[in-house]
Structure 1
Amino acid sequence: MKSPSWHRDEIILALDLYRTLDSKDMTKNNPKVIELSELLNELPIHERNMQNEKFRNTNGVQLKLSNFKYIDPDFAGKGMSGCSNQDKEVFFEFMGKDEELHAIASQIKLVISNKDINCKLNKIEDEEDYSAKEGKVIYKLHKLRERDRKINNKKKTQYFEKYGKLDCEVCGFDFQKSYGDLGIGFIEAHHRVPLSELNGEKTTKLNDLALVCSNCHRMLHRSVSIDELKKQIK
């Protein structure tokens, strides 16, 4: 079985390693290359039945680093061709932004290191229209935070006690007002903390959540803030 194409998260992790190693050290026997290979096998991205004994092994990691050499205009050698368009996109997106790249890579690693959260992320289905520079792992963590029923119910109770209704904090849509008894108590929770600030250890607080309608929620997941979306609606 052919291994699946490299995902954005995987490319970010490999590029972060590329930025920290000397060219001569980008070998399959380098402990950091071995460590990355093991890490890639823990990512909650690809279906387990798509992985085989060669999946993201040290040879594959070494080849990806060689692909970056081929793309890198500052590399004097040749590198290995055969890189993907996404390899090039991510490489040039973070060119000159090593600190930002490393911060995102570290964030992904922190989430993966939490075995309990990593297992839960595997159960969250992908969304076709999601788009986040931090990649799928952090986006899935965002979704996981939103699905915590206990904190969501507390947020709804707090909001209802203050305003006497559950309306969208962006557009004001009220499910009960529009759908009657069918809409009683219905509203969705959006994790307002930016993806770049999420990690696998932070506990969600009531102020981290916003109550929104389904339509606004989908728009907020297109990397738009609540204030920005409010302005667009007005």
Structure 2
Amino acid sequence: MSEKRNPAWQRDELILALDLYMRTNPLQISASHREVIDLSEILNRLPIHGIRPDATKFRNSNGVYMKLCNFLRFDPSYQGTGLQRGGKLEEEIWKEFFQKPELLRKVASAIRNSINETTNTVIYEDEDEFPEGKVLFRQHKYRERNRALVRKAKARAMREYGRLQCTVCDFDFHETYGDLGEGYIECHHTVPVSEYVGEVRTKVQDVVLVCSNCHRMLHKRRPWLTIMQLKDVLKV
């Protein structure tokens, strides 16, 4: 019988693990440490793994502690070798957040605060590319696709400009595609995902209308580019 293997660790999980690593010393705690157990419970509640072949071992405290020890091999202050078995994604997360402890703390806190939101049950095709993980990506997309909010943003643009155009590059779907593009534009939520705290109501002032290309470019870097920064890129 083949061994049942649980799914690989995802960005959300590794961000939470690195956050705990930064707050503790793996060499001075164990798998029975209260915070290790708490993290195990949180990881088991994350809505990102539908299939768990070995549920009894899935993100248990022993596995969480071993993951903390995996990070030791990247830590310049550690003189040993750390646990060598680990994935490439661990190193990516380390490089992204190790020198940005405040950002790491905010993102980890936002993930924990978002676990229970119903928006996390919707799966998006490109969520694996989101640096802050699937949970925050789903919440972010939910806010951007809030129908009532989108209607208000479009109505505001029509009142002020008489048309729906990209705030960055002025692209107008209706002008380019005729009737096919009438009424179409995307919404970009300007509040960084690291600032998400529970189910805060998104205001129309928090969104801007953008074309599809500019929307992806706004999300291309971390921290996100502002509207003015992307406009400056287009001027070069």
Bin the TM-score by the shorter chain: 0.7 to 0.9
Give the alignment partner of residue 94 of structure 2, picking from 86, 91, 96.
Answer: 91
Instruction: Decide whether the 8 Å contact of 2:107 with 2:194 is kept in 1.
Output: yes
Instruction: Decide whether the 8 Å contact of 1:130 with 1:221 is kept in 2.
Output: no
CA offset digits 1:11-63 (Å, max 9, x no partner): 111111122224355322222111101111222323x1245312111121011
What is aligned with 2:215?
217
- TM-score between both structures, scaled by the size of structure 1: 0.86
Deviation at 1:128, TM superposition (A): 6.3
Distance 1:29 1:188, change over 3 A: same
Matched, 1:130 2:134: no
Q: Which amino acid aligns with 2:129?
A: Y
List aligned pairs for 1:1-234, cutoff 5 A.
Answer: 1-46=4-49, 48-50=50-52, 52-53=54-55, 54-112=57-115, 115=116, 117=117, 119-127=118-126, 130-132=129-131, 134-223=132-221, 224-234=225-235
**TM-align CA RMSD:** 2.2
CA offset digits 1:187-233 (Å, max 9, x no partner): 11111222332333321111111111222222222233322222222
Using the aligned pairs only, state the percent identity. 46
Once the two structures are overlaid, the 10-residue window that deviates more, 96-105 or 53-62, is: 96-105
Distance 1:225 1:136, change over 3 A: farther
Distance 1:55 1:173, change over 3 A: same
Aligned partners of 1:158 and 1:226: how far apart in 2? 18
Q: Which amino acid aligns with 2:228?
A: D
Aligned partners of 1:140 and 1:51: how far apart in 2? 24
Instruction: Decide whether the 8 Å contact of 2:188 with 2:210 is kept in 1.
Output: yes
Q: How many residues align?
A: 228
Aligned partners of 2:27 and 2:129: how far apart in 1? 37
Aligned partners of 2:140 and 2:67: how far apart in 1? 28
Aligned partners of 1:108 and 1:52: how far apart in 2? 24
Unaligned runs of 5+ in 2: none
- TM-score between both structures, scaled by the size of structure 2: 0.86
